[in-house]
Amino acid sequence: WIKSPEHAIKRKVLYVDEMWQFIDYEQTVNFLEKVARRSRKRNAGMCWASQDFVRILENVKARGILQSTFSYFFLEQNKIDKKKIQENFNLTAGELDIILNNPGKGEGIFRVGDSSVWIQTDPSDKEMMFIESNEAVLQELLNNMKKVQGYAG
């Protein structure tokens, strides 16, 4: 996608779930850091999720990924990470209160640049099928969709 001119106009997105798992592997973190830095110039982007942002922050190469990220969606965070979150993202006391004190499911702070907004997500069943990682929950969701909607897919 970097060297092929015919792919220049195609929108590309790399999704990385639980990015903290890749941080200990030098080749992988090098690749992710390059994608984060270069993707904007190539009609591409990287969407990543992690439950351990401090581990990413403390890795020199992975820190480049954080620096290249323009928007963040903070869901519930561990209180142990409060100081690091505040130091690195300059969230207000109210924003920290939302993400540190048992927010509702899907509730969090969406931050773009220096602007933040509280948001509550309400994903559709199809979106939940995409993001659910628990096979039993996924199967139950699929069965319910088949019953309720006559879903064939």
The pLDDT tens digits for 55-106 are: 999 999 898 899 999 999 999 999 999 999 999 999 999 999 999 999 988 8
CB of 60 closer than 8 Å to CB of 67: no
Assigned CATH for 5-122: 3.40.50.300
CB of 56 closer than 8 Å to CB of 65: yes
- Exposure letters 83-110 (e unless 16+ CB within 10 A, then b): eebeeebebeeebbebbbeebeeeebbe
**Full-prediction pTM beyond 0.85?**
no
Sequence spans of domains, the chain: 5-122, 123-153
Residue type, 123: P
**Distant-in-sequence, close-in-space partners of 56: CB < 8 Å, separation ≥ 6:** 19, 20, 23, 50, 62, 63, 65, 66
